[in-house]
Structure 1
Amino acid sequence: MMGVLLAIIVGLFFRIGYIQIKRGDYLQDKADKLHNRERTLEAKRGDIVDANGVVLATSASINRISVIHNQIDDAEGTARILAQELGLNYDEVLEKIQKRVALQVIQDKVDTETANRIRAYELPGVMIDENFQRYYPYGSLAAQTIGFVGSDSQGIIGLEVKYDQYLQGIDGQIQTLTDAKGREVEGVGEQKVAPVEGNTLQLSLDVTMQEYAEQLLERVLKQKNAKKGAFIVMNPQNGEIYAMANYPNFDLNDPFTINDEALAEQWDTFSQETQMDYLNQMWRNFCINDTYEPGSTFKIITASAALQEKVVSLDDTFTCTGSLTVADRRIRCAKTTGHGTQTFVQGVQNSCNPVFMTLAARLGADRFYQYLKLFQFDQKTGIDVPGEAIGIMHKLENVGPVELATMGFGQSIAITPMQLMRAASAAVNGGNLITPHFGVNILDSEGTVLKKLEFETEEGVISEDVSATMREVLGTVVSEGGGRKAYIPGYQIGGKTATSQKLPRSSKKYISSFLGFAPVSDPQVMALLLVDEPEGIYYGGTVCAPIVREYFENILPYLGIEPNYTEEELSGDDVGTFTVPGLLGKSYSEAKTLASEMGFELDVLGEGEIVMEQYPGEGEEINKDAKVVIYLE
């Protein structure tokens, strides 16, 4: 018997050793999980603020109501109170309370007033924890750019996802010690690990400039019954973006509600996959996600390359007969009757296609492509908003004389609006290829700068001399050429118009655009406006240039750029504005008489006797020397 007892004791020692040493960590972990109840304390996501500290995205405090089944004394009474205070179904609440799980959420996103009423009941087993809901004070402002977060408070699109690592913060925890039945052990209390709030992201975007860009974009799109549009405003010296407007947009506080009324009526009939496709289209940022044929604004690049390679001088002359035959193809100019003999500068002012086809031929495909790569149309711009597209170009070996000619004036190549802005900035800022961006600083909750965000600049794309020449040439486009409707007395405005025909060409659909910058001598701001498929009058110089002028008239003083009038402007009678009268429905002779009486000129399109369309519209303020475009039928 002694031997048997000794064997049993030795066996128990081995068993204890096995349990303590071999399985000790595993069993300790199970014991901890059995006796410790953990609840997550959500960290407050950092704010997003504009250049002046105005809050664009913040996280409002809300509450989560949950229950611990084993700590509930009166399940039915607790269910009755929670259902009443939260406006929920009693049976559903009771069913949740009776689930034998460690922690059951009853209701998320409960306002503080309701949470405090429930807290006053002191219900055993009912937990009330603070969490946060993302809120966008300006609703749809810069929606595609700022982006939004999901139910887990992580960024889904836009700057919210790009800077998620800084905004997110670190969640905290509350640990409670319970007995084997899940009841809280009295006298021990809770152990709390406080959450760490996320950092604040400061942007270069300016709320005032963004709001005004969106107002003008929406107005011109509605006037022209256009499909969509984009408006980008940037500092061409350092790449800081002041505004990026897309229309249509959507409400950041309700991003899963479609903004198309026709689609909304059929929404429940669509599959989940189809719904997500439509939502993704709504969330797309036209400025960076989509490519288009830029048309004549791309002539800025062709001209810069030609001047840099010295294949053209300012006084070189060209003859435009209305078209140019390249290989076996006749390619027309926008002015089918031709521009006649003109200098290079006049060719830029007139946006003459044959001039730029000739320049492209002088450069040749190899050198032309060299500059496409120098301006990095084959790469992303590096903008700090995800989802950026890359330009689409022919392979060099597939470029013949016709392809080269059409690329020279902005066809047969597709780029994003942001790529064009970046390249045009290099053309006028001294030849430096900047990285467009919104992020400026990462701040703590007190506003102290924790990190200054830096972005690359590539110098020497073109020389400073060529860039200075391009500024002057583009300045004459506005003062004397096709961009005249962007002219502002006292300010040096440079720019380029474009009216690019969409594929297929037979559709007769266009994208109107104008790229402008100011002042010419030292560009501090650049703007690009695109209007997709305007109805009626569709020329970029007519549709977009006046809108950019109106924008500049307001934001140049806002940026501290003062007017500097020339003697000619001060002595002339064209300084100031006038209100456009209503011409619709009038005969051509009546419109001419009214224009003569009020001292403005008419730009007549179409053939007929009755004014069917006018631009700008009735009641708009325009420069005294600007023309009012009318379409006759």
Structure 2
Amino acid sequence: MSLILVIFLYSILFVRLTYIQVFKASEYAEEALSQRVKPSEVDPVRGRILDRNGTELAYSITSNSIFVRPQDLKDPQKAAAKLAPILGLDQKKLAEQLKPGQKPGIIARKVSYEALRSIAAQRVTGLTVLAQGQRFYPKGSLAGQLVGFAGSDNQGLEGMEAQCDRTLAGTAGLLQAERDARGNIIPGGQEVFTPAVNGLDVVLTIDENIQYSCEKHLESAVREFGAKGGFAVAMDPMTGELLAIATYPFTNPNEPFASSTKQRRLTPITDSYEPGSTFKLIVAAAAIEEGLADIDDKFYDPGQIKVANATIRCWKAGGHGEQTLAEAMANSCNPVFSSLALKLGPEKFMHYVTAFGFGSKTGVDFPGEATGLLHSLKQFRVVEQATYAFGQGISVSGLQLVSALSAIANGGTLMRPYLVKELRDTSGTLVKRTNPAKIRKVLSDATVAKVQKMLHDVTTIGSGTKAVPPGYRVAGKTGTAQKPESGGYGDKRVSSFMGYLPADEPRVAVLVAIDEPSTENRYGGTVAAPVFQRIASDIMRYMEVAPSEKVTASEKAAQLTKVPNVIGTVRTQAAALLRSAGLAMASEGEGAVATEMVPRPGTSAAKGSAVIIYFAEQGSKGEKGGPDAVVPDLRGKSLKSAAIAAGISGFSLSPEGSGLVYKQSPAPGGKYLKGTQITVWLRTQ
């Protein structure tokens, strides 16, 4: 009986094994494989940010991180004692991270190659070196607030890095490989590689040279006038392309948290302020368009007028007496423009304010744009109308203001300002181009011509004469705004000038604002207009726009000089060469050798102006690039092993195929710049 039972049980076992091994074999094989085949993401290379001429403002370099699996450590306390001094970490905190049961993760980023070698010598188990893309900004603080920065995981956090994050980021690839219980790849096991799609390059409308000019003269003015800060914006009035947009104090995206959150704001876009008398052109344009005034109409300025319970005063004691509208613009006379605003009435006045784009976003491709602040029609009483006329009680952004000025410059059309000119792939092929976009026609051609004449008069007979570069015709307007504080207006000022040139064929519109100058004379015509003049002079030379008027001998005495080529020289040599040409040196970077310079060699610059020189170590790309390194032999290695070997030597990897490496480029043994990409071809053996 017991024999029959044993035979019966073995029969059941045989049937069960036959069912599993024959009928369910493929299903269980797939399940076992799925447990061994574990996917891991392959990071794409983040795209670069370039200026309109292709100059790199942001790119990625290889950076090494240490990844640890606590469960694989034999002695966490001993491992912490060995690693902490090398990585500059607190030993107690590191030991806590390495305790059994803690989640695997990265314990250190941006690890130097010297540190990697020291760690390798310690023979600590459970560590993996990850070669990751690390963002680098070769121009330092140039356009720092505009470019923004990316975080430790290479995601865009601020500025254009955040605005274009999806475009720059690309799409992660996938490596699916058979792994053992410890997570190690099984040699000869199944391996499928889906390559990452690298991010696109973002080409900005910004011009590095115009940006540098704005920043250089802005910083100089803030220091000269003991001001709190300032900003400058340069726009192509015909297209809406932003050629430069600068805020001082600057910020360096390589060290973003060395600057406060407020300092990292791109204030002409993200913040608003009361524009002062620069807003008078809106009132004049509206009154002329509505047929309520003409440029030769006479007005009388008694020095002050009463509007409800408010007194509107002219800056000139006793007033200007009788004057035309054109003369009132040149003299920047408050009572005249307040009376025009009251003639317009609230509905018509507000119609033109909003038609010029105030009170709404311009649509610029940048995060955090401010809308400014307008009164509702119900709140827009006579006092508000009168003060709006000279830019008080209304809040606007610098970008809105220069966009409105550009509408006057280009013939009456409000353009959408933009910062992204093109998108290109890694081979340089054009993927997308941004076309200029018209928002609306604001004024008739006849009105525009009259406003243009008035703005030109401001720079010839009015408050803006210090804004004119020798030989060029400028149209513009000064502004000196009281800053609101504690429910009223105190003694603080914002001095500004905005204009375009050449007045007859505009190539650029520029707004300069200096915040809280501490000098006795704080008028826009005295503080901001000369800054505009210096920036405009640089731009006209750079654009090779010839003067339209004869330059006197005294004006020629401003003396231009050719910028010498100092690339490849050390600091002392570079400074001496520039000094001999009558130029100063502004240095960026901590290396010994000059690798780049702005303005470029051979261009003209005013004597006494500064040339920015970027210093790096010999043979490196940017101050954090590193010297040449020997290309390792990756042949015969799996993808993971090849990636680790390349990363330790300072190179990035671009794989094609799956299996083991059978070919690579560059070839082993050659010397190349750290960060160079090695292409490897893989196949199954």
Structure 2: how far apart are the matches of 1:549 and 1:73?
69
Mapping of residues 348-367 of structure 1, within 5 Å: 348-367=329-348
Does 2:302 match 1:321?
yes
Give the distance between the partners of 2:176 and 2:121, measured in 1 at CA. Answer: 22
- What are the equivalent positions in structure 2 for 1:468-617 lying under 5 Å apart? 468-504=449-485, 505-535=488-518, 536-565=520-549, 569=550, 575-576=555-556
Greater shift in the superposed pair: 521-530 or 138-147: 138-147
Q: CA RMSD in A?
A: 3.6
2-side partners of 1:111 and 1:213: how far apart?
37
Q: For each residue in 1:567-606, what CA deviation from the matched residue of structure 2 results, as whole angstroms up to 9, or x when unmatched?
A: xx56x67644579xxxxxxxxxxxxxxxxxxxxxxxxxxx
Q: Give deviations 1:411-450, integer Å, cap 9, x for gaps.
A: 1211111111111111221111111111100111122211
Deviations 1:252-304 (A, max 9, x none): 1111124xxxxxxxxxxxxxxxxxxxx32222221122211111100111111
Q: Please, which moves more after superposition, 472-481 or 323-332?
A: 323-332
| Per-residue deviation, 1:457 | 1.2
Query: For 2:274 and 2:240, how far apart are their aligned partners in 1?
Result: 23
The alpha-carbon deviation at position 70 of structure 1 amounts to 7.4
Structure 2 CA distance for aligned equivalents of residues 371 and 20 of structure 1: 78
Counterparts in 2 of 1:124-523, with a 5 A limit?
126-180=127-181, 182=183, 184-188=185-189, 190-258=191-259, 279-504=260-485, 505-523=488-506
CA contact (8 A) 1:176 1:190 kept: yes
Contact persistence 1:235–1:526 (CA under 8 A): yes
**Aligned equivalents of 1:403, 1:201: Cα separation in 2:** 43
Do the aligned residues in 2 keep the contact of 1:62 with 1:112 (CA within 8 Å)?
no
Paired residue type of 2:514: V
Distance 2:98 2:41 in 1: 19
Per-residue deviation, 1:43: 1.9
Q: Which structure dedicates a bigger proportion of its chain to helix?
A: 1
Cα contact 1:44–1:131 (8 A) shared by 2: no
SS in 1 for 2:215: helix
What displacement does 1:240 show? 0.9
- Is 2:62 the partner of 1:61? yes
Richer in strand (by share): 2
1:203–1:439 contact (8 Å) kept in structure 2: yes
Counterpart Cα distance in 2 of 1:152 and 1:383: 27
Amino acid of the residue matched to residue 478 of structure 2? T
| Structure 1 letter corresponding to 2:357 | Q
> Cα gap change, 1:448/1:307 in structure 2, threshold over 3 Å: closer, same or farther?
same
Code of the aligned partner of 2:51: D
Alpha-carbon distance in 2 for matches of 1:402, 1:408:
10
> Is 2:213–2:538's contact at 8 Å kept on the other side of the alignment?
no
Opposite residue 531 of structure 2, the aligned amino acid is: I
Residue pair 2:464, 2:529 contacting (<8 A) in 1 also: yes
Which amino acid in the other structure matches residue 128 of structure 1? Answer: V
What CA distance in whole angstroms lies between the structure 1 residues aligned with 2:528 and 2:180? 73
Give CA-to-partner distance per residue, 1:116-142, whole Å, 9 cap, x none: 786799987643332111111122222
Contact 1:471 1:521 in 2 (8 A): no
After superposition, the Cα gap between the structure-2 partners of 1:105 and 1:573, relative to the gap in structure 1 and judged at 3 Å, is closer
Cα pair distance change 1:236/1:182, threshold 3 Å: closer
Cα distance change, pair 7–473 in 1 and its aligned pair in 2 (3 A): farther
Distance 1:175 1:118, change over 3 A: farther
Is the CA contact 1:44–1:198 (under 8 Å) kept in the aligned structure 2?
yes
Deviation per residue, 1:359-399 (Å, 9 max, x gap): 21221211111111211212101111110111211111222
* Structure 2 spans left out of the alignment, 5+ residues: 560-606, 610-685
Q: Cα distance 1:407–1:81, how it changes in 2: closer, same or farther (>3 A)?
A: closer
Give the deviation of 1:37 after TM superposition. Answer: 4.2
Whichever residue aligns with residue 362 of structure 2, its letter is T
Return closer, same or farther for 1:186/1:462 CA change in 2, 3 Å cut-off.
same
Q: Hey, what's the Cα distance between the residues in 2 that align with 1:69 and 1:542?
A: 66
Structure 1 residues 177-229: Cα deviation after superposition (integer angstroms, max 9, x where no partner): 23446565343275443332211111111112112211211111112221221
In structure 1, distance between residues paired with 2:182 and 2:166: 40
CA distance in 2, matches of 1:216, 1:487: 15
Equivalents in 2 of 1:432, 1:542: separation in Å? 30
Secondary structure in 2 aligned to 1:430?
Answer: coil
Q: Distance in 1 between matches of 2:301 and 2:80?
A: 85
Task: Look up the equivalent residue of 2:502 and give its one-letter code.
Answer: P
2:618 paired residue number: none
SS at match of 1:280: coil
Q: CA 1:90 to 1:326, structure 2 compared with 1: closer, same or farther past 3 Å? A: closer
Where 1:360 maps in the other structure, the secondary structure is helix
Residues in 1 aligned to 2:99 and 2:308: alpha-carbon distance in whole angstroms: 83
> Equivalent residue of 2:261, what SS?
helix
AA partner of residue 521 (structure 2): I
Q: Is the 8 A contact 1:44 1:168 kept in 2?
A: yes
Q: TM-score, normalised by structure 1?
A: 0.78
Report the count of equivalent residues: 552
CA distance in 1, matches of 2:24, 2:343: 86
Report the Cα offset of residue 517 of structure 1: 0.7
Are the equivalent residues in 2 in contact too, given 1:428–1:470 (CA < 8 A)?
A: no
> For residue 169 of structure 1, what is the amino acid of its counterpart?
G
Contact 2:405 2:499 in 1 (8 A): no
Q: TM-score, normalised by structure 2?
A: 0.73
Give yes or no for contact 2:62–2:134 (8 Å, CA) kept in 1.
yes
1:428–1:468 Cα contact (<8 Å) kept: no
Helix, strand or coil at the partner of 1:450: strand
Q: Please report how far the alpha carbon of residue 105 of structure 1 lies from its aligned counterpart in structure 2 after TM superposition.
A: 3.5
Residue 35 of structure 1 corresponds to which residue in structure 2? Answer: 36
The percentage of counterpart residues that share the same residue type is: 36
